[in-house]
Structure 1
Amino acid sequence: MPRTVPEGHGPVRYGPPAPDPGLPVLPELAAVLAASAGRAHVEPPGGSPALLDAAAGYWSRRGLPSERGHLAAAAGPAPLLCALIAATGGDVLLPRPCTAWWAPQVRLLGRRAFHVATPPECGGVPDPYALLETVRRVRAEGDDPRLLVLSVADDPTATVPPPEVLHETVEAALGEGLHIVSDETWRDTLHHPEETVLIGPAEMVPQQVTVVTDLVGGYLPADWPAAVARFPDTPGGAELRARALDALTALGAQVAAPVAAAAAYALGEPDEVTGRLTAAVRLYAKVAEAVHRALLAAGALGRAPVAGRHLYADFAPLRDALAARGVGDAMELEEHLTERLGMPVPGGHRFGDDLGALRARLPVGPLLGTDTEQRLAALTAPDPLELPHVERALTGLAGALDGLRADAQHLEPPR
């Protein structure tokens, strides 16, 4: 993730990686993929019946009754969102910050992306009043916003919006005639599901929302691209799906047959898949909480992570100490933390945040170990924080952050 973009290279190519799972592939998934590797047929655009039926079952178990004819699959979430933007037309509203790959799809199609500030409680959704103001302003300037993309279990902030905040945002969006795309990639990675209420907009207004899920969030390895979308069960939803399928066909975004088989297996949620997911989320929660404590102890700010395998930190209170090290914006913060911590730490500007804001996303995966044996040990340990290799990684991170705090205290004027 270099600061400077080499001549002829676009910035998207050097965008942040997805949060690293830090865990080996589930053996049962690998076996399904391997057994399907000899298939000679090509998956149809939009997904095979087996994959779509598995996705229908997945959503039906989450209170969203679904049928094959309401769904579509693609080789990853980026082409799926690109197809949705192409199908809806117009410009797109995004929360600030937001998932790094959303805005590039908008720009690729020659549309405009308008970022809207999030409320104090959470990331992932625009503040409803800021959303209304933005829509009315951009329309007055001659632009044509038609689509709002949001996330109820957010990357990068690892937060979940309270239902009442989400409801206000959804009402504001529908009142302005916007179609809503809800990215629910991380919804099954809640750290404490008994304490966190997650309700998606499709559960509030099922006829006005398309739901997208990237299976990398909880079910497949990062290099097995597969994502699914659930369209509203309405004539408008059927028309939107048909246009999106045209775009997916033009993009050649079919899921590879072996990956489709593994995706269908995972979406069926057999015991080994759900068991791995439960254990992994428990591990991510433990380590993310330790990282959050280290950040707060060093003087940084950040909401407690409640989902996913990363967290979002604000280093504004350490601005003077960072400035003394030549760090004055999010790009320089990215370079500094990536080098100092020895792992990718993308700055907030990658997620549409203000360049001048000293914010960054910290991953959990690299702290789980350097080889398969260490990572599996972390997965199965009663308390992974007591494992020597995890303890060393966390101690190293805390030490690097404490160095910033010490610098900040040294720069404070005498009282």
Structure 2
Amino acid sequence: MPLPSHPSSASTSTLAERLNAGEAPRASDTLLINEQSRLREAGGERVIKFGFGQSPFPVFAPAVEALAAHAADKAYLPVQGLATAREAVAAFHREVDGVDWQAGEMLLAPGSKLLLFALMKALPVDAEVLIPDPAWVSYAPQARMCHLATRRLPCSFESRWHVTAASLEAALAESTETGKTDNRMRLLILNQPSNPTGLSMSHAEQAELAAVARRHDLLVLSDEIYGVLDHDGSHRAFARDYPEGTVTTTGLSKWCGAGGWRFGAMHVPAVLGDALFTRLLGIASETWSSVASPVQEAACVAYQRTPALDGYINRQREILAEVGQWAAEELTAAGIRTHPPDGGFYLYPDFEALREALAKRGITTGSELTQVLLEKCGVALLPGSAFGAPAERLTARLAYVDFDGAALLATSGPVIEHPGLEKVRDGIQALSEFAKKLESN
């Protein structure tokens, strides 16, 4: 009896072609720049890592102790999340943000990134996602992975890189210019303090934007992962202005320094109905199942308001505010327009005033600019195009976190001259000198 023949190369090739057809989602630019920086450092280069936005501060110590105490916990927990963990998150934000969150309206996940994706996956297939330009790198790829239509809402330096009520109204008016009724669900994604800009709307601007969202019956996804790190503690949850239509995400990665723990939380107001929440639970049960047991137990401690926790958060705010303000002033003085940050640990420098001088050196895009800055200055930034900006826009995101957060937390008073901030000072000085040399030549 003859042996069965191997599949023909033609059939194998056809299968491979089918598997590789279409556009694959590219790796996150923020993760790529981190890897590139590591490779350069491994080759002996000094790299100032302003590209990857990871908290420089140690995880809140009592939460670390709780994680260690529960390291042996191995049970699968409820898909929605441990009831005590959900109540801890809800109570924390009720007190800190003045929102009416209840544990039963919360869903926990291994990071808020999965929650953002789950919400988009739960939307009708003809929904449209409205994304500011610039905005965090993963919103648009996630929407495309969910086969949802996306539209960018252009922002400007003059609008402090925010979507305004007028610009949102104009964008929505474009959808009805044909005279045809367009009843598609629309999801507006907001993030403040913003990644990549470090900026927040004023309370008045937010109220105006919320009024437009209400008038057009938009669903708003408010990504408030940096809210607790508002530098003066004035963050205003979007749900306070539009409670009936705002889904909010948050987590431990930024204010608690626990990005690698992967703990995210989402609040879905009951007024949006049971069907949406049921779909979200279904997606969670078929994908991540539950957040790791020790991490949920640690979260119960991390979200307990105590004088120690308040001191930990407030000192982070003071440090980030001082460093961010100083860096923005230095860059602006060198001819690189930069808004001082409102929260988080990002700046969004605009090199547009240097366009002519840069063009003489063959630099006409944000990507070319950041590549030259890495090669000439040893400073890693991300181009604005990574955040949805046009390729030719000369903007970049600067994450001013390449410093010893533990050492700075142990201090009091001003920190800008602290030895632990040497790389930040050197990086800002290198960018400033680069700009000044351009202008002088």
2:425 counterpart residue number: 394
2:410 counterpart residue number: 380
1:247 counterpart residue number: 283
Distance apart, 1:340 and its partner CA = 4.2
Distance apart, 1:392 and its partner CA = 5.8
What SS class does the counterpart of residue 229 from structure 1 fall into? strand
Paired residues for 1:121-270 under 5 Å: 121-123=159-161, 125-138=162-175, 144-193=184-233, 197-234=234-271, 236-252=272-288, 254-270=290-306
Call closer, same or farther: CA 1:109–1:152 in 2, change over 3 Å.
Answer: same
Number of corresponding residues? 393
2:434 counterpart residue number: 403
Instruction: Give, in whole Å, the separation in 2 of the partners of 1:179 and 1:79.
Output: 18
Contact 1:91 1:144 in 2 (8 A): yes
In structure 1, list runs of 5 or more residues that go unmatched: 1-7, 370-374, 411-415
Distance apart, 1:40 and its partner CA = 1.8
Contact 1:344 1:363 in 2 (8 A): no
2:72 is aligned with 1:38: yes
Distance apart, 1:10 and its partner CA = 5.1
What SS class does the counterpart of residue 207 from structure 1 fall into? coil
Distance apart, 1:22 and its partner CA = 1.7
2:327 is aligned with 1:291: yes
Instruction: Tell me the C-alpha RMSD between the 2 structures.
Output: 2.4
Distance apart, 1:143 and its partner CA = 9.3
Distance apart, 1:396 and its partner CA = 4.5
Instruction: Give, in whole Å, the separation in 2 of the partners of 1:178 and 1:252.
Output: 28
What SS class does the counterpart of residue 247 from structure 2 fall into? strand
The letter for the 2-side match of 1:390 is L
What SS class does the counterpart of residue 87 from structure 2 fall into? helix
Contact 1:139 1:145 in 2 (8 A): no
Distance apart, 1:229 and its partner CA = 1.0
In structure 2, list runs of 5 or more residues that go unmatched: 1-21, 32-51
With 306-315 and 13-22 compared, the bigger mean Cα shift is at 13-22
The structure that has the greater radius of gyration is 2
The letter for the 2-side match of 1:406 is K
Call closer, same or farther: CA 1:75–1:39 in 2, change over 3 Å.
Answer: same
1:8-64 residue CA offsets vs partner (Å, 9 max, x unmatched): 995641421451212233332222111111012012212111111111111221211
Distance apart, 1:389 and its partner CA = 4.5
Contact 1:85 1:106 in 2 (8 A): yes
1:117 counterpart residue number: 154
Instruction: Give, in whole Å, the separation in 2 of the partners of 1:45 and 1:251.
Output: 10
Call closer, same or farther: CA 1:82–1:146 in 2, change over 3 Å.
Answer: same
Instruction: Give, in whole Å, the separation in 1 of the partners of 2:378 and 2:307.
Output: 36
Instruction: Give, in whole Å, the separation in 2 of the partners of 1:252 and 1:239.
Output: 20
2:133 counterpart residue number: 96
1:310 counterpart residue number: 346
What SS class does the counterpart of residue 250 from structure 2 fall into? strand
Call closer, same or farther: CA 1:261–1:327 in 2, change over 3 Å.
Answer: farther
Instruction: Give, in whole Å, the separation in 1 of the partners of 2:375 and 2:409.
Output: 27
1:3 counterpart residue number: none
Distance apart, 1:145 and its partner CA = 4.7
What SS class does the counterpart of residue 56 from structure 2 fall into? coil
1:48 counterpart residue number: 82
What TM-score results when the alignment is normalised by the length of structure 2?
0.82
What SS class does the counterpart of residue 225 from structure 2 fall into? coil
The letter for the 1-side match of 2:110 is A
Instruction: Give, in whole Å, the separation in 1 of the partners of 2:373 and 2:274.
Output: 46
Identity of aligned residues (%): 25
What SS class does the counterpart of residue 380 from structure 2 fall into? coil
Instruction: Give, in whole Å, the separation in 2 of the partners of 1:392 and 1:204.
Output: 40
Distance apart, 1:268 and its partner CA = 1.7
Call closer, same or farther: CA 1:400–1:181 in 2, change over 3 Å.
Answer: closer
Distance apart, 1:71 and its partner CA = 0.9
